[in-house]
A and B are shown apart, each in its own frame.
Chain A
């Protein structure tokens, strides 16, 4: 096993990886940009190396600086996390060339599945059904228009190098196609350094169901159940859960999807953790969407229902080990659910809300896991994704998981900045969500219908708020002097004892 591993990432996922490394007795090396000197992952790692200015292309995307950091501190392997360089085949190859283990699949597999168009061809060759779409990335909107004319609207524009909803646009009318193509292409270029776009037929009212697969370098591969990620806003996942309410009521569907996912991954010569995404219909049919060649943001949901530590497995497989179990050993237990907590204001069109976190109170208790990258007193930088943490719960069944999530949300307070916590309260209380009646347009429809983020409150709430307003004001006048006095008394006592 490795003695030292560098984490080429930041935020909650860097913390998540550091925790498993520490449990395994492996030293962790964090990297950080100017903006992240005081970030939590730097505080919690064993070692930390500065890799450049705040913009990610000069730091977290800077292959040269990251490899240099790994060489300097003697790291034998690099965990890329998700985002940044995690699906960059050139980076995986550069690690290989430098004699450093890339914790993930081979550069060849990433290249193959990372290109969305090539992934479609590979999956099809492996026997997985695919959504009708163009075979190649397009260079102009005219070609997209030709495809749309043939298959009919709506269509979906997607970045060839895409992921995370970046460079993706739904187009309903021919007249919108050209502006959508331009904006998707420029967004893709900024996000991935590759502006190529392809087009797919949009399958309406489909669910997003993905299969976690895991392979070793000895030809063993398993699927670890599914995650349903149909609750999305602008193609960004908001809530993920396992099991999928659909698969839970469709006998044999999990096995069919799992086997299709394993076939697609095998066709790419895949090993380590990967996720095969499908669009699934309520009639039990499903289509290959894409493969994510990395650990996913929502992997904790799978960890909670399988009882596995996927990061530990990644490390074991990357070090040349065999999968310590077979498909027959994989058992799913209970229900898990994850809410992605973002620094954004749901009541104000989801505007990003960076700034200083003045207070933080995180939920705890039975079945609650918080994978967080923040602390009170830290300023959320404007340079990166606005995700703050993930709140994950496990319970015996879906209904209890929802109640547990609502309980945990009630304990969660992030002060000083706006967060999307109020949105989860609304979704988890929505009858359609509770019934598991989901599709990828579900949340956009709920939002379009208009949500009242300021419903009437019980009559004593405002007088209680006023009482606290008064007390906090009084406390303010007092506190600065009181705290200062107390501090100086302690300091004075300390100095006295030193001089004794």
Chain B
């Protein structure tokens, strides 16, 4: 069975004339006719032409990417994008918020990052407390 390749969520057939050589682990030289492409690949991303693409190759053993962050049924979860510490919570459960309004502040790498409401709605969950350490992907709050 032909593997299904997804590039940034879109099914793409590999170039039929691509001459691909792995020059060192994760580094590829590609020739299409005489056109040269320098490409880097990790387990999930490809860097090429100054751009970075997420990819997957359908394979029963391959990592399955789940949808994170939600947006399902008008519910938007705010997840910590990286490890850090919650330094301030700017709203309370039940507050009406506008898209782009600050919900809480997470400090990481000496920088304070305001996590903003992804949409208009009501804050239904605040899942962390001030001073809580969070890891990447930790649920911080939910706006419905």
B residues near A413, Cβ cutoff 8 Å: 40, 47
Is the pair A415, B32 in contact by a Cβ cutoff of 8 Å?
no
Is the pair B12, A462 in contact by a Cβ cutoff of 8 Å?
yes
Given the interface pairs A457-B51, A468-B46, the reply to whether A384 lies near B109 with Cβ below 8 Å is: yes
Please, which residue of chain A has its CB at the minimum distance from the CB of B111? A352
Most chain B Cβ neighbours within 10 Å, of A457, A467, A468, A475? A468
CA distance in complex: A353, B80 (Å):
12
Please, which residue of chain B has its CB at the minimum distance from the CB of A353? B82
A residues near B7, Cβ cutoff 8 Å: 462, 465-466, 469
Within the complex, the shortest CB–CB distance from A176 to chain B, in Å, comes to 13
Is the pair A464, B110 in contact by a Cβ cutoff of 8 Å?
no
Is the pair B27, A465 in contact by a Cβ cutoff of 8 Å?
no
Is the pair A352, B108 in contact by a Cβ cutoff of 8 Å?
yes
CB of B25 within 8 Å of the partner chain:
yes
CB of A159 within 8 Å of the partner chain:
no
Question: What does the 1/0 interface line of A226-243 toward B look like (CB < 8 Å)?
Answer: 000000000000000000
CB of B101 within 8 Å of the partner chain:
no
Within the complex, the shortest CB–CB distance from B68 to chain A, in Å, comes to 13
CA distance in complex: A422, B49 (Å):
11
Given the interface pairs A352-B111, A472-B41, the reply to whether A467 lies near B48 with Cβ below 8 Å is: no
Please, which residue of chain B has its CB at the minimum distance from the CB of A458? B49
Most chain A Cβ neighbours within 10 Å, of B13, B109, B110? B109
Is the pair A470, B14 in contact by a Cβ cutoff of 8 Å?
yes
B residues near A326, Cβ cutoff 8 Å: none
Given the interface pairs A352-B109, A358-B26, A465-B7, the reply to whether A415 lies near B40 with Cβ below 8 Å is: yes
Please, which residue of chain A has its CB at the minimum distance from the CB of B20? A471
Mostly, the A contact residues are: helix
CA distance in complex: A469, B13 (Å):
10
Q: A450-500: which residues lie under 8 A (CB-CB) from chain B?
A: 454, 457-458, 460-473, 475-476, 479
B residues near A466, Cβ cutoff 8 Å: 5, 7, 12-15, 55
Is the pair A384, B46 in contact by a Cβ cutoff of 8 Å?
no
CB of B34 within 8 Å of the partner chain:
no
CA distance in complex: A256, B49 (Å):
45
Is the pair B42, A425 in contact by a Cβ cutoff of 8 Å?
no
Please, which residue of chain B has its CB at the minimum distance from the CB of A479? B25
A residues near B57, Cβ cutoff 8 Å: 469-470, 473
CB of B131 within 8 Å of the partner chain:
no
11 contacts between A and B (CB under 8 A): A352-B82, A352-B113, A386-B111, A462-B7, A462-B53, A464-B15, A464-B18, A465-B55, A468-B18, A475-B22, A479-B25
Tell me the B residues contacting A by CB distance below 8 Å: 3, 5, 7, 10, 12-15, 18, 20, 22, 25-28, 30, 32, 35, 37, 39-43, 45-53, 55-57, 59, 62, 81-84, 108-113
